Amino acid sequence: MSQDQNAPLREDVRLLGEELGAVLREQAGEALFDTVETIRQVAVESRGQGEMPVKRLRQLLRPLDDETLLEVARAFSQFLNLANIAEQRHRERLHRHHQRYPGDPDTDRSLRQVLAELRNAGIGREKIRSVLENLSVELVLTAHPTEVTRRTLIRKYDRIADLLADLDRPDRTEEEKDRLRRLLREQILSAWSTDEIRRERPTPVDEAKWGFATIEQSLWQALPRVMRGIDAELKREGLESLPADWVPIRFASWMGGDRDGNPNVTAAVTRKVLLLARWMAADLYLRDVENLLADLSMHKASDELLAYTGPSHEPYRLVLRRVRNRLRNTRARMEALVNGAPEPQGEGYTSGQQLLDELNRIDRSLREVGLAAIADGQLKDTLRRLNCFGITLLRLDIRQESTRHSEALDAITRYLALGSYAEWDEKKKQQFLLAELESRRPLVDEGFYRSDLCSEEVREVLDTCRVIAEQGPEGLGAYVISMARRPSDVLAVMLLQKIAGVTRPMRVVPLFETLDDLNNAADTMGALLEIPFYKARVRAGQEVMIGYSDSAKDAGFLGAAWAQFRAQEKLTEIFRVQKVPLTLFHGRGGSISRGGSPTRMALLSQPPGAVAGRIRVTEQGEMIRFKYGRPAVAAYNLEQYVAATLEATLVPPAAPRPEWRAEMERLAQVSVADYRKVVRDDPALVAYLRTVTPETELSRLALGSRPARRKPGGGVETLRAIPWVFAWTQIRLMLPAWLGTGAALDRALSVREETEVVREMNAHWPFFQGLVDMLEMVLAKTDIRVASWYEERLTDDEELLRLGTTLRKQLAHTVDALRCLTGRDSLLDNNPVMRWSIRVRDPYTDPLHLLQAELMARLRERESAPLLESALMVTIAGIAAGMRNTG
């Protein structure tokens, strides 16, 4: 495959393009097809010949009426979605090739390769087994405020991908291929006939249901598949088998629990999501139990099982019928609680252990009577699902901003006539919090909830803690404090849980997000660990979250990455000295300015000792769909996490040399200063963002449930990190991913001694290699010419044009500096699949960019234009599909 690995991909893209063309002719007529094809051909010429064809392209677009503009936008957007399906299918193909030929240099590192390298490095089997036994990979599914594809279309696209896979089978006859192509055209027709744009904004409950659907349709199948693959690789290496219930992968969620800046996530919403998750879990286990009932018809059973069932010709089915009844009762109870109806009679499951005990009883019996092969079948898959998903499906995290907790405590101290908590210094806050945490008396009475001091915002914080108390720990994960800055921020949440009567508190996880917060993270956690009460509470382990989005928005990509690295170094050392296990929770997104990178690269670029067998990572909407939307791809990506975590734990990268560290400090200082000079200090930046990019138009899209801004109005500081990235991506400027980095590299490469150091860093330091590789990928998606098209159509303001010229020059200098560093003439020369992927999309994204600029201009001149609004939304969705990431 390495000889021409793109050939099958090109064939799939050609096939899907032909079928879409046939649908266009049939549904929209020859005239529209000819218009689309003419525009596409001119776009191809535009890529090769410069400005003249672009002017011609504009001439083709401007005379089109509103309805035709919408149809043209839909055609190009649909092709880009189909190209993504083909690429996803090709990744599945490459994954299979990788399993057959794990030494192929064009593929990722498999568990087989990692185990072989560990063996060659002299690491003993017992050491490997010990690390594996305690390995913990937890993936936290989060909603995506810029997820643009409707679930209805996602299902159709999945069906198209299935049909491509069927066509790929070499044993298909011509008749079978004809039938599959007919079905393929039907699905493309169905997608074309479906509105691409979500007309109603999803609620937090809708987002949670989307997460449940990902588990139901993909991860439920992928989890046992990946575990069987891991079992096989361990056996192949001669490693002693791990416990039957060993599952190193867990899932958590922020959907319905992340209330930071989202007024739509309330205590009532969180309660409903937790109940719906239990309903879905019961439903999925019911399906498994029905399958087991069909299979476990044998009569041989252990004395233990027969003592439990009594004499029976089919004892396993007897137990499973009881399990089925309890699961049905559980599901019915959850449904009643969600709907506010009376709870039905009958015994259900209130803990995962109850269901586990029943299934383990069957497992022990089968093994005791010589039917281990049957126990290792569907039953083992169900047991592994139960150990992974529990009866709650996911563990729900709660996230809230630190000032909301301070406001609640301030209201309480004023109610108690103790003064204003908000006005106390840090020392006095800590004294109060620790005294109350160790006190056995209640802090407030019901009178507080009836007082004027208990505002809606304060009541919501306390109500959330009451939901935590009533739901219990099994379905809950971490309580994440965004914008955490001081030890009192952590202690405050511990006290609020105590006030609400939480008997088994959620672990409290500070999230350090801005540059200053990251720089002070070690001091904050060090101060907490010096408090005997606190250290005793976290003796079993502490989790700390590292923020990528807001730190990059605050300091730029390079400066933030170095701050994240240093914060992890210092935290790792503090917790090592204090002998408290540390889990680092990485708040990553899909784009590089939000920490996005391939799994192995991300884990091996961490400081030595930072992984230590435990990793927790956010996976956001579009990346969930991309990495886990299909069972085969999900299984592959889950294996990658296990393999990379094992590798990073047992053979971590060496600590950076002193000269590398000194150079990174210089690079970061230059980068942060250059980034902030534009983002903070240039008065034209906000106006440029809102005029030249579709930042203001994003509010028209019914995207996620969370508002795009933390506060109404304001400048860049009020804009959330995700739409900040999204807006720049739409015009191909990708500013958050590179601004500042080019100036830093340029300066280093102008000094001979530093040039040698940075090239050495790029050759030997995984952290720096990861930065360079990700920078190269995002720069390959930028396009100076495309960005200028928006300016030409949308503004004649001299200040905005001045800033636009400056930004494009800085982008060009960044590309030149990167080429100089890597020694490669063209970006992505080392990644032909990615390079081809970008190039094949350009003739389809170019018209969408020009269309978008035209539509933005027309809409800003009219008060109401429904067709143009729909067309604009389609261009936003299409460009997002073409870029393969949004925020």
What residues are annotated to the active site? 144, 553
- Quick one: which of 346, 345, 355, 350 has its CA closest to 320? 355
SS3 content of the chain, % helix, strand, coil (to 5): 65, 5, 25
Cross-strand pairs, 512? 546
Question: Measured between alpha carbons, how far is residue 42 from residues 435, 448, 465, 823, 883 in Å?
Answer: 73, 70, 60, 33, 21
First to last CA, the chain: 32
Q: Are 735 and 719 in contact (CB under 8 A)?
A: no
Residues in the chain: 887
Q: H-helix or E-strand containing 645?
A: helix 631-650
Q: Are 249 and 137 in contact (CB under 8 A)?
A: yes
- Quick one: which of 84, 69, 94 has its CA closest to 7? 94
Q: Give the Cα separation of 814 and 807 in Å (integer).
A: 10
- Quick one: which of 262, 296, 307 has its CA closest to 373? 296
Q: Give the Cα separation of 568 and 545 in Å (integer).
A: 10
**CA atoms in the 13 A half-sphere facing the CB of 674:** 26
Burial of residue 113 (CB within 10 Å: 0-12, 13-18, 19+) is middle
DSSP summary character for residue 342: P
Q: Give the Cα separation of 685 and 693 in Å (integer).
A: 11
Q: H-helix or E-strand containing 510?
A: strand 507-512
Phi and psi, residue 497, nearest 5°: -65, -40
Which residue type does 706 have?
R
Question: Measured between alpha carbons, how far is residue 469 from residues 380, 459, 646 in Å?
Answer: 33, 15, 36
Burial of residue 182 (CB within 10 Å: 0-12, 13-18, 19+) is exposed
By three-state DSSP, how is residue 471 classified? helix
Question: Measured between alpha carbons, how far is residue 185 from residues 17, 153, 287, 334, 758 in Å?
Answer: 11, 15, 33, 41, 52
Q: Give the Cα separation of 691 and 795 in Å (integer).
A: 7
Q: Give the Cα separation of 737 and 203 in Å (integer).
A: 30
Q: Give the Cα separation of 81 and 622 in Å (integer).
A: 13
3-state SS, 476-503, equals EEEEEEECCCCHHHHHHHHHHHHHCCCC
| Angle, CA 730 vertex, CA 724 and CA 735 arms, to 5° | 55
Rounded-to-10 torsion of CA 67, 71, 76, 78: 140
E strand map for 237-342: 249-253
Q: Give the Cα separation of 818 and 826 in Å (integer).
A: 10
Q: Are 239 and 128 in contact (CB under 8 A)?
A: yes
Q: Give the Cα separation of 709 and 383 in Å (integer).
A: 43
Q: Give the Cα separation of 541 and 583 in Å (integer).
A: 7
Q: Give the Cα separation of 142 and 530 in Å (integer).
A: 33
Q: Are 535 and 529 in contact (CB under 8 A)?
A: yes
Which residue type does 360 have?
N
**CA atoms in the 13 A half-sphere facing the CB of 121:** 14
